Structure 1
Amino acid sequence: MRFLTFRERLSAHLNLLPTAVYDAFPAVLFGRMLVLATRLGFFEALDRQPKTIAELATSLRLHPDSVGLIASSLAANGYLKQTARKYSLAPQAKKWLIKSSPSYLGNLLNYVEILHSHWMYLEETLKHGKPPKPYTEMFAEKEWEIYTYGMMDLARLLLPHISSKLKLPSNAKTLLDIGGSHGLYSIELCKRYILLHATIADFPQVLTCTQQIIKEHRLEHRITLLPCDVTKGSFNTGRYDVVLAFNIVHSFSSEMNVQFFEKTAAALKPGGVVYILDQLKKERAAGVDKLLPLMAGLNILNEIGGNVYSFEEIEQWCESSGLRNVKHHKLSIPGVSLVRAEKSKNSLVTQ
């Protein structure tokens, strides 16, 4: 994000610049334009060679005036480069917005476009502390597909930052991936630990996509799908060596999380471990590391009535459910945290 130059940032620091206007207008509209440009194929059209405005307009079937504004805006914010009358991709676009790139985030931006429409009723959510209707009751088949592949983009982004920190017991054979969606985390761990078998628990609408993803990785014989609402019922008691709770704690209220952690602890074998990945509030953080979790919290409130929490709150829920050695792993990517906890080897398993 490059809206402000150094001089402009200095003016903002000295309170000489009306930053509220910049936050409320160009930043918001640029985000909307970026999402549309990605979906409409703007970056793909420039992948092979630079193009003029006229060539882009013809390729994308858009009005030349519209294309001119989009191209100039994307260049101003570092996504495109302009040489003479032609535009080409800047490194930011080449890495994140081209489908052939292993770092592609276009599916995630497609999901953000759904969120844009949901933000229209944010005021009503703020009044009542919950959305008029949770997304789980609104999504049709296409929205579930966009959601699942968007979350997979996010997982690909996060995996390099957490992979080395996911250390399972050497004898681990069973893993429960709660709300595992696309299954990418389970797939990664099954490839690393050859004795491991995983169970992915999520909504049946999500697992329709997951089944195809697992098939592409040829792991159908080691990954089982469990269609369910993870907030209802319980998991098999004392069955799993490892539980993953990635980007799910923020979906629940504090009261629901007390119950969720009890269910999670009960599902673990004695000596088992649980990893929690989420956007945690950080009082001492700054910049994106502080703002991103708060905006994620506002969004999840609007989506399903959830919230974001601090490490201390998660630590308390872990300990009250009988988990111990709760550790907070700091990640190099801002706004995201990984927490690890263990179940005592002396814990009794009750059926």
Structure 2
Amino acid sequence: MPIDLPADEAEAFRSGHAPAPMLDLVGLMAAHAVRAGWELGLFDALGKGPLTTWELAAATRSDPAGIEQLANLLHATGYLRWDDGRHANSPAAGTWLRRDSPNCYGHVLSLWHTMIEELWTGLPEAVREGRPRGGFYTWLAAQPELRATFQNLQRGLAGWLAEEVVALTGLPADATSLLDLGGGHGLYSEAYCTAYPALHATVVDSVRLVSGHQRVTGRAADLLTGSLDDGHDVVLLFNVLHGFPSADAARLVARAARALRQDGLLLVLETTASDRAGAAERAFTAGFSVNLWHTQNGRVYPERQIEEWIAGAGCALRERHELTRSATHTLFAAVKGAS
């Protein structure tokens, strides 16, 4: 967590009179400390009440001297506070780092910490030579716990956004067939089928989906080379394009358009670098884009680029919605063959 700097110190760092990279160094230390605390169950132990160093060491089955050093850093970076001489969670830690909290962020931090630590090696050379490392999904497949965390995060995001997305874009009244390219978990397809009783959905991804919804079926295929049926009323490309190089992303939009019937509806949902987002969200989105580039040769694409791909695929943009539930997500709705 960023240090709560007094105004004069903050100004010194902003103006260049103090070394701004020092704050990044402290942030790096804090990230390691928070992950260690998370893995030790430190924040869960303090969720039951304030503890002395010895009590905290016993609760986490740790060495008292080691716990003292770790706790000192967590105090200095705002994750712990003192309560009558005992360690206690700060409001931020109590809300975001306890496993029993509905807002628990520890799994997110653990996943990103590992990705950056293991996959961002060679970043200077990749930038210099224009050759990203790649291999993200191969790396992820070899780590079952992180893969489960990644998949849960995808499902969590879809579960949060699906209601708004479905409400924003009305489907054609006679729609019966939806194709969901790269839909993975199938939650968006399930949400549309629930809202439209006549609709049947097919989710195409590298791994075949087994859905509990009776009108949602899965099929395993490569998104760029696998065969796709055509004549669909609706095609979804939700949070997919950013994982591909630009040429392949354009090809994927074109394939999605070809799978539509004339006047069919193409829906594209993507992370975008929106000015509506707060400073922290904008910074995270920039880092997310670096990670996409280095590990998948993708990136967060500008809205105008996505609109050009849609137009090039023979579809006319009908609507563009900036989601209220996520300031960094934009939904594009386009009609095939419309002028």
TM interval, shorter chain, is: 0.7 to 0.9
CA distance in 2, matches of 1:225, 1:268: 18
2:281 corresponds to 1:292: no
Shift of 1:325: 2.2
Look up the match of 2:221: 228
2:303 alignment partner in structure 1 = 311
CA distance in 2, matches of 1:163, 1:47: 38
Change (3 A) 1:256 1:76: same
Which amino acid in 1 is paired with 2:290?
L
- Give the aligned residue type for 1:27: G
Q: Give the SS at the match of 1:343.
A: strand
Please say if 1:53 is aligned against 2:30: no
The residue matched to 2:42 in structure 1 has which SS? coil
* Aligned twin of 1:256: 248
User: Could you report, residue by residue, the CA deviation over 1:21-42 in whole angstroms, capped at 9, with x for unpaired residues?
Assistant: 212x111232233334333333
Unpaired segments ≥5 residues, structure 1: none
Counterpart CA distance in 2 for 1:87 and 1:132 is 42
* Deviation (angstroms), 1:310: 0.7
CA deviation digits over 1:237-259, x for unaligned, max 9?
A: 1224241x232211112211221
How far apart, in 1, do the equivalents of 2:190 and 2:78 lie? 34
Shift of 1:132: 3.7
TM-score by length of 2: 0.83
Map of 1:177 onto structure 2? 180
> C-alpha deviations, 1:297-320, integer Å up to 9, x for none?
111112111122111111111111
Give the distance between the partners of 1:326 and 1:128, measured in 2 at CA: 40
Deviation at 1:346, TM superposition (A): 6.2
Amino acid at match of 2:216: I
TM-score with structure 1 length normalisation?
0.80
Q: 2:142 aligns with which of 136, 140, 143?
A: 140
Counting only pairs closer than 5 Å after superposition, residues 180-219 of structure 1 correspond to structure 2 as 180-204=183-207, 211=210, 214=211, 219=212
Equivalents in 1 of 2:21, 2:135: separation in Å? Answer: 30
Q: Which of 297, 302, 314 in structure 2 is aligned with 1:322?
A: 314
Aligned amino acid, residue 324 of structure 1: A
Change (3 A) 1:225 1:64: farther
Match of 1:119 in 2: 120
Please tell me whether the aligned partners of residues 237 and 266 of structure 1 are also in contact (alpha carbons under 8 angstroms).
yes
Distance 1:312 1:84, change over 3 A: same
1: CA distance, partners of 2:112 / 2:229: 35
1:154 Cα deviation (Å)? Answer: 4.1
Aligned residues: 335
Q: 1:344 to 1:156 in 2, by over 3 A?
A: closer
Distance 1:108 1:255, change over 3 A: same
Q: Distance in 1 between matches of 2:166 and 2:49?
A: 35
Q: Is the 8 A contact 2:134 2:297 kept in 1?
A: no
Please give the per-residue CA displacement for 1:258-278, whole angstroms capped at 9, x wherever unaligned: 211101112233443333333
Match of 1:152 among 130, 141, 155: 155
Q: Using the alignment, how far apart are the partners of 2:305 and 2:289 within structure 1?
A: 15
Secondary structure of 1:261's aligned partner: helix
Determine helix, strand or coil for the equivalent of 2:121: helix
* Cα distance in 2 between the residues matched to 1:50 and 1:167: 52
Q: What is aligned with 2:271? A: 279
Cα distance 1:308–1:40, how it changes in 2: closer, same or farther (>3 A)? same
Separation in 2, partners of 1:91, 1:159: 30
Query: Which amino acid in 1 is paired with 2:314?
Result: G
Cα displacement string for residues 194-240 of structure 1 (whole angstroms, at most 9, x for unaligned residues): 44433333222xx5xx64xx5xxxx3423322223323234221224
Shift of the alpha carbon at 1:77? 4.1
Matches within 5 A, 1:71-86: 71-86=71-86
Q: CA RMSD in A?
A: 3.2
Letter in 1 for 2:155: M
- Partners of 1:90 and 1:197 lie apart in 2 by 48
Q: Distance in 2 between matches of 1:178 and 1:95?
A: 36
Q: Which amino acid aligns with 2:255?
A: K
